Structure 1
Amino acid sequence: MQAFVCAKMSRPFATAPLVVPVAHSLLPRHLRLSNLLLPSLTATTDTTIFRRRFFSPYNFRSVPGPVMAGLGGFDVIGDGGSMVQDAGATALVIAGAYAFVSTFDLLSERKLIEQNLSRKLVHILSGLLFMASWPIFSVSGWARYFAAVVPLTNCLRLVIHGLSLATDEGLIKSVTREGKPEELLRGPLYYVLVLILSAVLFWRESPVGVISLAMMCGGDGIADIVGRRFGSTKLPYNKQKSLVGSLSMFVVGFLVSIGMLYYFSALGYFQLDWVSTVERVALVSFVATMVESLPITGMVDDNISVPLVSMVVASLAFAY
C-alpha cells in the first residue's frame, strides 16, 4: 500500500493539511501538487488563468508506443528486423497510394465522378490514409524517415511532371484545377511537403502533426466541396469563400482531428486528457478556419497557411 504524508502549506492563509503521495515525482505532471492548488493560490491575473487553461504544458503525456497500451510492439526482430519492416511498410504504402490515385483517375476518365470532386477526394483521403498507416512502421528511430519516403516519392513525381520532363495526363487531371502541368508545382507540391514535414518533425509522438494534417486534409478539403455546392451566402470580407464552407471546415476539421487523436491514443502513442484536448482542438480548428477564410489565397496557398497555422497554434496549446 502506498504511503502518504501530510504536508502543510507554507502560506499563512492556507494552513489546512494536504495529503501528498510520497512518490510525488512519479506522478503525471498535471497531477502534481503545484497543479492541484486552487487557482486563487497560483494565479494572480485572468491572463495567467487563461494560459493555465489553454496552454498548460501538462495536458498530455507522450509514450513510447503500442507497448504502453498493452498491444505489443511492432519491432520484433531487432534493428535489422526494423529496417526490413519499415522498408516493407514503405513499399506497401507507396503501392497503395499509387493504386488509390489511379482509381480516382479511372473514375474521372469514365465520367463516373466529376474531376473537381475527384481532386478534392484525393486531397482529403490521401493525407489521412498516409497518416493512418504510421502504426505499421516499427518503433525504431528511423521509422519516420522511411514513412517520409512515401510523400517524397510523390514529391519527385510532381516535380518531374510539373516541369514537363514527363507526361501523365491522369495525374494532372486528378490533382489540378485547370489541367495544367505547372499547377503540380503549387498546391499539390505544398501538400506533399507538409506530409513530409509532419512525419519527420512530429511523427506519432505529438498531437501537433496529427491535428495539422487533419485540418489540411479533412477541414480544408471538405470546405471546398461544401462551399461549391451549397455556398450561396458569401463571407462579407471574402466573396470567394462561403459561410457554410467555413462552418463545415471548422466542424469536419475538429471531428477528424479528434478521430485521429483517438486512433493514435488507442494504440498507445500518447495519452490525452480528453476534456482539455477537445477545448484545444476546437481552438486550433477555429483559428485555422479563420485563416482559411481570409482573402489571401492569391498570396499564400491554403496548403501552406492552414497546416502551418495549425502547427503553431497546436504547438502552443499542446506545449510540453
Structure 2
Amino acid sequence: MKKELWRQLIHASGVFIVVLSYFLPPNLLIIFCIAILVFVDMVFRLDHHYNIPLFSAILRVTKREHDERGFVFFFIGIITTLYFFQFNMAITNAAILILLFGDSASTLIGKRFGKNKLPFQSHKTLEGSLTFLVVGFMVSLTQLPVIPAFVGAMAGTLTEAYIPVDDNVPIPLVSAFVMSLAIYLL
C-alpha cells in the first residue's frame, strides 16, 4: 500500500499542469507536456541500464511491475484533452483534475477499504467508485458550476469503472466532453 500511496501522490502532482494553464497558452502547455513525456520516457529507458540519481530511487518506489509505461497514457490523456478542449480551459482543467485526484483517491480508498466488488470489474470496488465521484466533483467545482462539475465527475467515474486498464486517456476526454455538453445545454 505504501508503494501505491507514493505512486498516487506522483499522479496527483500533475496538478502543476493546471497551475501552469493560468500562465501559459494551451499550445505552449501542450508542448511542455510533450517535453515532459519525452523526458520521463528517456529516464525510464536509461533506468534499465544505469542508476540515475534521484530518478532511479523514485522509479523503484513507484513503478508497478505490470504497468511500467502507465505514465505514457497519463500524459496522452492530458495532452489530448488540452488539444481538443482548449477552447474552454475551465473544462479542460476540471477534466484534468478529475483524472488526477478522482482516479488517485479511488485507487487508494478502493484498495484499502473496498469490500464491494463491481459486478462488471472484479478488481474495482463500489467504495473506490464513490470516492472517485465525490473527489472528482469537489475538484471540478474549483473550475465549474455545480451541474457541469457533477456530470463531469459522474462521467469520469463511469469511465473509470468500465474501462479495465489504461483509463488515463478516456477519463479526461469523456469528462471534458460531457461537461462541454452540459454547459452548452444549460
What TM-score bracket applies, with the shorter chain setting the length?
0.7 to 0.9
Provide the C-alpha distance between the structure 2 equivalents of 1:205 and 1:283, rounded to a whole number of angstroms.
16
Match among 176, 181, 188 for residue 63 of structure 2: 176
Instruction: State the match for 1:239 in structure 2.
Output: 122
SS class of match (1:239): strand
Match among 149, 153, 164 for residue 297 of structure 1: 164
Contact 2:76-2:169 within 8 A present in 1 as well: no
Map residues 273-312 of structure 1 onto 2, 5 A cutoff: 277-294=145-162, 296-298=163-165, 301-312=166-177
Match among 15, 21, 26 for residue 144 of structure 1: 26
Provide the C-alpha distance between the structure 1 equivalents of 2:177 and 2:88, rounded to a whole number of angstroms.
16
Instruction: State the match for 1:116 in structure 2.
Output: 4
Provide the C-alpha distance between the structure 1 equivalents of 2:85 and 2:133, rounded to a whole number of angstroms.
23
Cα drift, residue 241 of structure 1: 0.8
Higher helix share: 2
What is the CA deviation profile of residues 201-258 of structure 1, one whole-angstrom value per residue up to 9, with x for unaligned ones? 4348343212210111111111001111111222233221111111100000000011
What amino acid does structure 1 have at the position aligned with 2:117?
Answer: K
What is the CA deviation profile of residues 21-52 of structure 1, one whole-angstrom value per residue up to 9, with x for unaligned ones? xxxxxxxxxxxxxxxxxxxxxxxxxxxxxxxx
What amino acid does structure 2 have at the position aligned with 1:246?
Answer: S
Instruction: State the match for 2:103 in structure 1.
Output: 220
Cα drift, residue 161 of structure 1: 3.9
What amino acid does structure 2 have at the position aligned with 1:157?
Answer: F
**Percent of aligned positions that are identical:** 26
- Backbone CA RMSD of aligned residues: 2.6
Instruction: State the match for 2:42 in structure 1.
Output: 160
Cα drift, residue 159 of structure 1: 2.8
Larger Cα Rg: Structure 1 or Structure 2? 1
What is the CA deviation profile of residues 57-95 of structure 1, one whole-angstrom value per residue up to 9, with x for unaligned ones? xxxxxxxxxxxxxxxxxxxxxxxxxxxxxxxxxxxxxxx
SS class of match (2:168): helix
Provide the C-alpha distance between the structure 2 equivalents of 1:176 and 1:316, rounded to a whole number of angstroms.
36
What amino acid does structure 1 have at the position aligned with 2:152?
Answer: V
Instruction: State the match for 1:207 in structure 2.
Output: 90
Instruction: State the match for 1:127 in structure 2.
Output: 14
Provide the C-alpha distance between the structure 1 equivalents of 2:160 and 2:88, rounded to a whole number of angstroms.
27
Provide the C-alpha distance between the structure 2 equivalents of 1:313 and 1:183, rounded to a whole number of angstroms.
30
Cα drift, residue 287 of structure 1: 2.2
What is the CA deviation profile of residues 249-300 of structure 1, one whole-angstrom value per residue up to 9, with x for unaligned ones? 00000000112x16xxxxxxxxxxxxxx312221221122122112x324xx
SS class of match (2:164): coil
Between the two proteins, the alignment pairs up a number of residues equal to 180
Map residues 13-52 of structure 1 onto 2, 5 A cutoff: none
What amino acid does structure 2 have at the position aligned with 1:134?
Answer: S
Q: Which runs of 5+ in 1 are unaligned?
A: 1-112, 138-142, 263-276
Cα drift, residue 122 of structure 1: 0.9
TM-score, scaled relative to structure 2:
0.82
Provide the C-alpha distance between the structure 2 equivalents of 1:174 and 1:197, rounded to a whole number of angstroms.
28
Contact 1:218-1:253 within 8 A present in 2 as well: yes
Provide the C-alpha distance between the structure 2 equivalents of 1:152 and 1:316, rounded to a whole number of angstroms.
28
